[in-house]
Amino acid sequence: MAKKQVKRLEADVVIAGGGPGGCVLAQDLSRKGKKVILIEKGGHHTRGFGSMVGLMLGGHMERAAGGGFLSATIEGDQLVLGTGVGGGTILFAGSAFLPEIDLWKEVGVDLEPYLDEAMEESWVHEPPDEFIGPGTRHLWDAARELGYSWGKALRHIDFDKCKVGCGLCGAGCTRGAKWTGKVQADEAVKHGAKLLLYVKVRDVIVENGVAVGVRGRGVKDGQSYEVYGKAVVCCAGGVGTAPILRRSGLYEAGNWLSGDPTIMSYGFLEDEDGIGNGFEQQMTVCYHDEEHGCVFCSCIATPANTWRMQILQKEGLGAALKSRPFRKALGIFSKMHDDGVGQIFVEGGVSKTYTPKDVWLQEYSRVTNERILIQAGCDPYDIHHSGLILGHPSGTVKIGKLLDSNLETQIKNLYCCDTSVMPEAPGRPPALTVVVLAKRLAKRLETIV
């Protein structure tokens, strides 16, 4: 059979990866009249929105090697990765945490001038009182009684479109109330940007030390592409960007891996009249424990079968079958900043190990969750914790190591703009930080392409 000819395309800016960073860059640059091609290995659709299984089958989640539903690290921790236009914002629960401004200033990056615009365009709002249900309020009160200063959490939500009592943010919002990078991608297309879908970027084309494009291949049809531009930006995520750079000659890419190990803890209210938070808007109240680098939020995996799957993963079938009614379950979600020990392999494997400090923080989070759940009236002998979920993989191409303060690599005109650039673990949901970084990078690229 004859070999397919390589398709060659040209643009001012080539963006590899359709996560939030890539989508915002495409929007802002196309608005300025720049010719942009955004390359994404997944699709651009809402098929499967409304359930976790639907997201998996609809092609919004990376599947494990061998065809399993969930990706995992080599060590066995769960790893949830988005694919398709919008990337991880399709799967996230819509939490909006402000960037750690002082940390970024330490590496020469001032994010403050771009923050207000980023918050407006990614729909950052505080939840109205009616979206904080009785179960969540009960959890909030219990936490405050113990001295934890919980308060309302910012959300990437348009509450005018949202429904009180809906807890399916992480399953793909069917009402269009949750912001995702798809919003900016659609705006970019209106201004002339091209989406090159179902194409996986392999490496960067480098000539005389300068990035001039990328190579990729269609994941469905096998068509090979060479896409040329005056600037190349890798936005393939904390796991996806490193292999592209390593194949392009930046061999240190992926030698680090930070993240926010995540635990979900569940208790069951003993009061016959007590109602949990499983049928309420998730992550509406939170506590940022800055001393320990942890975030605690009101949250429970929904719908009920997803919640039981998490108990099954950690404790086995017996615990899942014996668990009490979902309406009595009260849940807390906690994330921990880690020390950044891990590695991304060029064939796609992920190794994540933890230092003694990381392990201590994980146990601190479990104990804190239990204290709050017991204070809220849960049975202290019937509390369950999920296995570790590696949240927000990041720092694989970290600024100060492989990137300068403009997010440019040692290869001229090759930039990165996703969680891979983080100087250390985010310690909080990073979507807003990535949007702000993209706004800042777009301003720079406007003047040089």
Regarding whether 414 and 342 lie in a shared domain, the answer is no
Number of domains in the chain: 2
Helix (H), strand (E) at residue 416: strand 414-416
Instruction: Note the pLDDT of residue 68.
Output: 52
Regarding whether 243 and 231 lie in a shared domain, the answer is yes
Note the pLDDT tens digit of each residue in 400-413.
999 999 999 999 99
Instruction: Note the pLDDT of residue 449.
Output: 92
Regarding whether 379 and 299 lie in a shared domain, the answer is yes
Instruction: Note the pLDDT of residue 168.
Output: 81
Checking if the pLDDT of 322 tops 60, the result is: no
Note the pLDDT tens digit of each residue in 164-212.
988 788 888 899 999 999 999 999 999 999 999 999 999 999 999 999 9
Instruction: Note the pLDDT of residue 93.
Output: 86
Regarding whether 110 and 240 lie in a shared domain, the answer is yes
Residue with the bigger pLDDT between 322 and 252: it is 252
Residue range 281-301: mean pLDDT, rounded: 90
**Residue 284's domain is classified under what CATH number?**
3.30.560.10
Nearest in space to 128 (alpha carbons), one of 96, 91, 163: 163
Range of the domain at 152: 125-168+257-391
**Reported confidence tier of residue 77, pLDDT bands at 50, 70, 90:** confident
Regarding whether 160 and 105 lie in a shared domain, the answer is no
Instruction: Note the pLDDT of residue 57.
Output: 80
Q: Cα separation of 410 and 421, whole Å?
A: 14
Regarding whether 103 and 150 lie in a shared domain, the answer is no
98-102, 278-282, 329-333, 367-371: least confident range: 278-282
Instruction: Note the pLDDT of residue 423.
Output: 95
Instruction: Note the pLDDT of residue 325.
Output: 78
Residue with the bigger pLDDT between 435 and 93: it is 435
Regarding whether 236 and 263 lie in a shared domain, the answer is no
| Residue 78, domain member (yes or no) | no
Say which residues have a Cβ less than 8 Å from residue 70's Cβ, sequence separation at least 6. 61, 63, 64, 78, 79, 80
Q: Cα separation of 408 and 417, whole Å?
A: 9
Mean pLDDT of the chain: 91
